[in-house]
Amino acid sequence: MKKVNLLGLGAGLLAALSFTPEPVMAQESTLDIVKSRDVLRCQVGTPAPGFYSLSDDGKWSGFDVENCRAVAAAIFGDPDKIEYQSVTSAVRFTAMANGESDILSRTTTWTLFRDTQLGLDFTTVNFYDGQGFMVNKDLGLTSALELKGATVCVLTGTTTELNLTDYARTNDLGITPVVFEDSNVRDSTFFSGGCDAVTNDKSGLASIRAKAPDQSIFEILPETISKEPLGPVVRQNDSQWNDIVMWSLFAMINAEEMGVSSANVDEMKANSDNPEIKRMFGVEGDLNTGLGLGPDWAYNIIKMVGNYGENYDEYMGPKTVMNIPRKGSVNDLWTRGGLMYSPPFRQDLIGRTPGLLWRSGVPPFGPASFIAFNGGTGHGGD
């Protein structure tokens, strides 16, 4: 099932709605709402190569789209039970806070303000990025520091706009921002020479260039002027839903770490002697119970959506229009020098071993007694 709800077309209406930082229907969990509705509402951006593209037959695909497909696979065993909502940058947070969407997955930067003052929670990072500039090669520029007095196209309501202002002030560049709400208007203006440069996350610049009538005439300047950790967003005060979205992404990362892909997941689930693979795919233990999902939740993600590396190669890698190499980058696995890292799929003994009969809250004899009883010092990886 695939539905499209172009929330971006109703930007004025959404902006007029009251901003309510508390979750809609707070007494009912998001998981229960999604199950009852029988479809996941996934908020993406306006169509752009790499992260979220819309085909002529109405099918969404892309690197950020896969986050939503993974969550749908975990819940329903069907990655296509999704209603996609195409939302502009200016109204995305209002749409989330007002309960229009279950998950926001559209190149959104994790910042302190957004994570603490908008009624939203960032789950984890699916792409480490940084802001840069793209120009026409005819300008002959080799550095962003040569943009003194330039006009720069930028989306409004974004960290990109704020970073541009900071960078221009810090380096006394006298840049004039030319702001847009619609990314397509921004891009067409830049392509036609309406701005000297365009600024965005560097992955976003690659996406913009992929839409150009002639990609060869544009180049991305070397400077990276910010940190832009991107990842899925949910509403606050629903820790179970936060965990489902976060661990769905971790499942894709962890599967790649362990060499499990959509092609071999059946064989690995049936025959692997690796205890973590057995726990992850529900062969042993009950890691699924805390999420409120079935034992096959992670298996369904890898079988139907693939691991992190498979999706990177399909939408972001050198063989795509994005052409962003992963090898040796921060988006590579930690075992290869990158930052992509999943916490362990580990079954703890808490609540199972005599003397540790509690599952949450304060240990029965107090923290100090618990440390002594557990035979540990409270330090290290315990």
Q: Is 172 helix (H, G, I), strand (E, B) or coil?
A: coil
Q: What is the pLDDT of residues 77-111, one digit of tens each?
A: 999 999 999 988 888 999 899 899 999 999 999 99
Burial degree of 352 (CB within 10 A; 0-12, 13-18, 19+): exposed
At residue 277, the pLDDT reads: 97
Q: What is the mean pLDDT of residues 138-148?
A: 97
Spatial separation of the C-alpha atoms in residues 159 and 115, rounded to whole Å: 13
At residue 88, the pLDDT reads: 85
Q: Is CATH 3.40.190.10 the right assignment for the domain spanning 2-128+230-336?
A: yes
Interior/surface letters 317-326, b for 16+ CB within 10 angstroms, e for the rest = beebebebeb
Q: What is the pLDDT of residues 197-224, one digit of tens each?
A: 999 999 999 999 999 999 999 999 999 9
CATH (one of 3.30.1330.20, 3.40.190.10, 3.40.50.300, 3.40.50.620) for 131-226: 3.40.190.10
Task: Return the axis-axis angle of helices 239-257 and 308-315, rounded to nearest 10°.
Answer: 80
Question: Which of the four pLDDT bands, split at 50, 70 and 90, describes residue 358?
Answer: very low
Instruction: Say yes or no: do domains 2-128+230-336 and 131-226 share a fold.
Output: yes
Instruction: Look up tokens 């099932």; give the residue.
Output: 1
At residue 119, the pLDDT reads: 95
Question: Which of the four pLDDT bands, split at 50, 70 and 90, describes residue 367?
Answer: very low
Question: Which of the four pLDDT bands, split at 50, 70 and 90, describes residue 25?
Answer: very low
Integer CA distances (angstroms), 330 to 21, 48, 281, in order: 33, 23, 27
Do the bridges between strand 127-129 and strand 120-122 make them parallel or antiparallel, or are there none, so unpaired? Answer: unpaired
Q: Who has greater pLDDT, 16 or 193? A: 193
CA atoms 227, 229, 230, 234: torsion sign: negative
Burial degree of 192 (CB within 10 A; 0-12, 13-18, 19+): exposed
Spatial separation of the C-alpha atoms in residues 325 and 342, rounded to whole Å: 21
Q: What is residue 326's DSSP assignment? A: -
pTM here is 0.83
At residue 157, the pLDDT reads: 86
The answer to whether residue 48 scores a pLDDT higher than 80 is: yes
At residue 5, the pLDDT reads: 52
At residue 27, the pLDDT reads: 63
CB atoms within 10 A of CB 224: 16
Question: Which of the four pLDDT bands, split at 50, 70 and 90, describes residue 18?
Answer: very low
The answer to whether residue 112 scores a pLDDT higher than 50 is: yes
Q: Who has greater pLDDT, 347 or 344? A: 344
Strands of the chain, DSSP E: 2-5, 40-44, 53-54, 60-61, 82-86, 103-104, 120-122, 127-129, 131-136, 151-155, 176-180, 197-201, 218-220, 228-230, 233-235
Q: Tell which residue, 21, 145, 34, 157, has the closest CA to residue 90.
A: 157
Q: Tell which residue, 248, 323, 265, has the closest CA to residue 67.
A: 248
At residue 202, the pLDDT reads: 96
* Phi then psi dihedrals of residue 139, to 5 deg: -70, -20
The answer to whether residue 330 scores a pLDDT higher than 80 is: yes
At residue 194, the pLDDT reads: 97
Q: What is the pLDDT of residues 234-267, one digit of tens each?
A: 999 999 999 999 999 999 999 999 999 999 999 9
At residue 348, the pLDDT reads: 83
Q: What is the mean pLDDT of residues 116-125?
A: 96
At residue 350, the pLDDT reads: 61
Average pLDDT, the chain: 88
The answer to whether residue 374 scores a pLDDT higher than 80 is: no
| Rounded-to-5 percentages of helix, strand, coil across the chain | 35, 15, 45
Asked if 128 and 142 touch (Cβ cutoff 8 Å), the reply is no
DSSP letters for 6-59: -GGGGHHHHHHS----SPTTTTS-HHHHHHHHTSEEEEE-S-BTTTBEE-TTS-
Question: Which of the four pLDDT bands, split at 50, 70 and 90, describes residue 382?
Answer: low
Alpha helices by DSSP H, listed for 238-294, are: 239-257, 265-271, 275-280
Share of the chain above pLDDT 90, in %: 80
The answer to whether residue 13 scores a pLDDT higher than 90 is: no
Q: Radius of gyration of the chain from Cα atoms?
A: 22
Measured in whole angstroms, the distance separating CA 121 from the mean position of its chain's CA atoms is 12
- List the domain boundaries for the chain: 2-128+230-336, 131-226, 351-382
Question: Which of the four pLDDT bands, split at 50, 70 and 90, describes residue 371?
Answer: very low
Q: Is 147 helix (H, G, I), strand (E, B) or coil?
A: coil
Q: What is the mean pLDDT of residues 47-65?
A: 95
Q: Who has greater pLDDT, 232 or 18? A: 232
Asked if 98 and 104 touch (Cβ cutoff 8 Å), the reply is no
Structural tokens at position 235: 């509403």
